[in-house]
């Protein structure tokens, strides 16, 4: 078994174990999380039950002690009322024994009843004190029980918190186990990829060795990857072959490299249609498209371009590449050509020379020779211009009509506007 096959087998076995839920670390973590979930659920239910019991007072001890407190309170009230009533009776009895100085009242005859009232009052007070002590004891016991219940609730809540922490740790442990399993799977995948690359490298080395052998066998023959014309040969017979041996030009992809004036470059865009003529092909036109417009001016005139007499007067030009898209038979590599770049096109419009158009307050116009009744008059025709080249400009709208005789040098005839003029038909 190759290294690649072994790595692929290990990867597949580990992946199948994960897909089937057979990873022991993940299984253990899932079991621990289920246990923690159960403990948390049980603790939460116990706490909620304790809370309900606390809120409803359903615990027997609390109910009994609460009842005892209420009874003690009732007894205290009864003893207080009894003591109050007994005290008022005693005061009334004692007050009736002094109707006058040195004169015994009717109560003197009943001295034993007065003494009984005083004793009865003391007993009522004792009973009141006893009831109050009982109430205090009952209240303290009740409060202690309530405090114990609250402590139980607090302890149960702490148990809920502990169960929650265990559940959280279980969830974290499960996620860690799953990440570790995925990381291990990625490690196996990386091992497969490395083994594959090693196998490819070994195969490539073997193929390269075989190819080099074939090259050595055919070393005397030189072949190009394409057909074309050999434009230069750098190798010399009898010398070791090194670097470029020869240059081959592809006739199927001819380019025309030219220079465009700075003022015209903004009008040229990639994809513009071009017509090309050459001195060797006469009037035949070849079609092409602009493939590249340099954003940087040329450092010097293009090859074959006219050299300026004064280098300081040279205006900037920009390299432009034109790809011949139509038939190219007759074109010669390295020859010269004249390119006409069509930047815009207007159809169905008039065209006049650019020098024939003047401007007045932003309005363009041309001067024409209007004929009426055998007389000629210089008249102004307002025009709206369209696309233009170095020579002509299109008239897309205005007062100029087809057949009008446009004055090509209007600046010389402006002073005659609106006047009748004589026309030498021989010079016209």
The CATH number for 41's domain is 1.10.287
Average pLDDT of the segment spanning 114-137: 69
- CA nearest to 283, candidates 328, 333, 320, 338: 338
Asked if 52 and 178 sit in the same domain, the reply is yes
Please write down the HEC assignment for all residues of 297-333: CCCCCCCCCCCCCCHHHCCCEEEEEEEECCCCCCCCC
Q: Are 318 and 298 in contact (CB under 8 A)?
A: yes
Residue of 372, 354, 351, 350 lying closest to 410 (CA atoms): 354
Residue 67 has pLDDT above 90, yes or no: no
Angstrom distance (rounded) from CA 143 to CA 136: 10
User: In which residue are the tokens 């030498």 written?
Assistant: 424
Looking up tokens 């196998």, which residue turns up? 199
- Amino acid 107: pLDDT: 40
In this structure, are 261 and 281 located in the same domain?
A: yes
Give the β-pairing of 286-293 and 363-372.
unpaired
Shared domain check, 17 and 108: yes
Residues 334 and 400 in one domain: no
CATH number, domain containing residue 264: 2.40.30.170
Q: What is the pLDDT of residue 86?
A: 67
Mean pLDDT of 271-287: 88
List, in sequence order, every residue forming a beta bridge with 357; answer none if it has no partner: 366
Confidence of residue 340 (pLDDT cuts 50, 70, 90): confident
Query: Could you tell me if residue 234 is inside a domain?
Result: no
Average pLDDT value for the chain: 75
Judgement on whether residues 74 and 132 belong to the same structural domain of the protein: yes
Q: 410 and 312 in one domain?
A: no
Least confident of 92-96, 203-207, 243-247, 408-412: 92-96
Distance CA 395, CA 357 (A): 10
From the list 342, 348, 359, 358, the residue with the least C-alpha distance to 394 is 348
Q: Dig out the tokens for 278 from the structure.
A: 């050459």
Q: Which of 122, 87, 93 is nearest to 108 (CA)?
A: 93
Considering the domain architecture, whether residues 413 and 276 belong to the same structural domain is answered as no
Residues 264 and 304 in one domain: yes
Is the residue at 316 inside a domain?
yes
If one counts every other C-beta atom within 10 angstroms of the C-beta of residue 407, the result is 21
Whether residues 336 and 417 share a domain: the answer is no
Q: What is the predicted pLDDT for the residue at 313? A: 53
Residue 356 domain-assigned (yes or no): yes
In angstroms, the CA 194 to CA 190 distance is: 6
Whether the predicted pLDDT of 417 surpasses 70: yes
Which residue, 373, 374, 427, 379, is CA-closest to 406? 379
Domain that residue 396 falls in: 350-421
Residue that finishes a domain, picked among 297, 324, 342: 342
* Lowest mean per-residue pLDDT among 126-130, 222-226, 337-341, 410-414: 222-226
CATH number, domain with residue 370:
2.40.420.20
User: 208 lies in a domain?
Assistant: no
| 310's tokens | 């004064």
Asked, for residue 211, whether it belongs to a domain, the answer is no
Are 326 and 406 members of one domain?
no
Q: Domain total for the chain?
A: 3
143 in the same domain as 116: yes
Over residues 215-242, the mean pLDDT reads: 65
Report percent pLDDT > 90 for the chain. Answer: 3
Asked whether the whole model's pTM tops 0.85, one would answer no
The structure tokens listed for 48 are 């909620």
Does the residue 118 lie in any domain?
yes
Query: 397: which 2 tokens?
Result: 């709208």
- Per-residue pLDDT reduced to its tens digit, 72-111: 767 866 777 677 666 655 555 544 444 444 444 444 444 4
Which of 163, 184, 203 is at the close of a domain?
A: 203
Instruction: Choose from 91-105, 221-235, 318-332 the range with maximum mean pLDDT.
Output: 318-332
**pLDDT tops 50 at residue 176:** yes
The verdict on 60 and 122 lying in the same domain is yes
The residues, any chain, with a CB within 8 Å of residue 1's CB and separated by 6 or more, are 9
Residue 261 in any domain: the answer is: yes
Residues 22-31: what's their mean pLDDT? 81
Q: Evaluate whether residue 155 is within a structural domain.
A: yes
| Averaged pLDDT for residues 384-389 | 79
Position 285 pLDDT exceeds 80:
yes
> Given the structure tokens 């001295």, which residue do they identify?
111
Kindly report the three-state secondary structure assignment for every residue of the chain.
CCHHHHHHHHHHHHHHHHHCCCCHHHHHHHHHHHHHHHHHHHHHHHHHHHHHHHHHCCCHHHHHHHHHHHHHHHHHHHHHHHHHHHHHHHHHHHHCCCCECCECCHHHHHHHHHHHHHHHHHHHHHHHHHHHHHHHHHHHHHHHHHHHHHHHHHHHHHHHHHHHHHHHHHHHHHHHHHHHHHHHHHHHHHHHHHHHHHHHHHHHHHHHHHHHHHHHHCCCCCCCCCCCEEEEECCCCCCCCCCCCEEEECCCCCEEEEEEECCCHHHCCCCCEEEEECCCCCCCCEEEEEEEECCCCCCCCCCCCCCCCCHHHCCCEEEEEEEECCCCCCCCCCCCCEEEEECCCCCCCEEEEHHHEEEECCEEEEEEEEEECCEEEEEEEEEEEEEECCCEEEEEEECCCCCCEECCCHHHCHHHECCEECCCCCCC
Interhelix angle 111-217/60-95, rounded to 10 degrees, is 150
Q: How confident is the model at residue 92, as a pLDDT? A: 53
Contacts of 78 (CB under 8 A, 6+ apart): 131
- The tens digit of pLDDT for each residue in 249-272 reads 666 678 888 898 888 888 888 988
């Amino acid at each position: 078994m190759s290294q690649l096959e072994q790595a692929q087998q290990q990867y597949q076995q580990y992946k199948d174990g994960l897909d089937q839920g057979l990873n022991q670390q993940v299984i253990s973590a899932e079991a621990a999380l289920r246990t923690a979930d159960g403990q948390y659920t049980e603790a939460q239910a116990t706490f909620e039950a304790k809370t309900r019991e606390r809120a409803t007072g359903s615990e027997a001890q609390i109910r009994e002690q609460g009842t005892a407190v209420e009874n003690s309170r009732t007894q205290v009230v009864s003893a207080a009322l009894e003591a109050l009533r007994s005290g008022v009776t005693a005061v009334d009895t004692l007050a009736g024994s002094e109707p006058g100085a040195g004169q015994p009242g009717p109560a003197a005859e009943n001295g034993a009843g007065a003494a009984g009232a005083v004793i009865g009052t003391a007993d009522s007070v004792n009973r009141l004190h006893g009831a109050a002590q009982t109430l205090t004891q009952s209240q303290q016991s009740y409060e202690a029980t309530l405090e114990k219940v609250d402590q139980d609730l607090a302890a149960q809540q702490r148990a809920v918190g502990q169960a929650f922490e265990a559940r959280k740790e279980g969830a974290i442990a499960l996620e860690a186990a799953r990440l570790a399993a995925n990381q291990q799977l990625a490690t196996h995948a990386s091992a497969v990829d490395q083994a594959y690359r090693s196998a490819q490298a070994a195969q490539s080395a073997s193929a390269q060795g075989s190819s080099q052998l074939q090259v050595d066998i055919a070393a005397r023959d030189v072949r190009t990857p394409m057909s074309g014309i050999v434009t230069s040969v750098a190798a010399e017979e009898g010398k070791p072959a090194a670097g470029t041996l020869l240059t081959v030009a592809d006739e199927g992809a001819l380019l025309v490299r030219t220079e465009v004036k700075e003022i015209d470059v903004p009008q040229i865009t990639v994809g513009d249609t071009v017509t090309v003529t050459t001195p060797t092909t006469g009037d035949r036109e070849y079609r092409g498209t602009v493939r590249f417009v340099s954003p940087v001016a040329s450092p010097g005139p293009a090859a074959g371009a006219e050299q300026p007499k004064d280098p300081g007067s040279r205006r900037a030009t920009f390299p432009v590449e034109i790809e011949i898209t139509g038939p190219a038979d007759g074109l010669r590599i390295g020859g010269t050509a004249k390119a006409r770049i069509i930047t815009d096109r207007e159809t169905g419009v008039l065209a006049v020379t650019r020098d024939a158009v003047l401007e007045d307050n932003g309005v363009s116009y041309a001067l024409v020779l209007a004929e009426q009744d055998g007389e000629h008059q210089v008249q102004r025709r307002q025009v709206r211009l369209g696309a233009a080249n170095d020579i002509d400009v299109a008239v897309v709208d205005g007062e100029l009509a087809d057949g009008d005789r446009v004055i090509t040098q209007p600046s010389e005839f402006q002073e005659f506007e609106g006047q009748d003029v004589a026309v030498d038909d021989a010079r016209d």
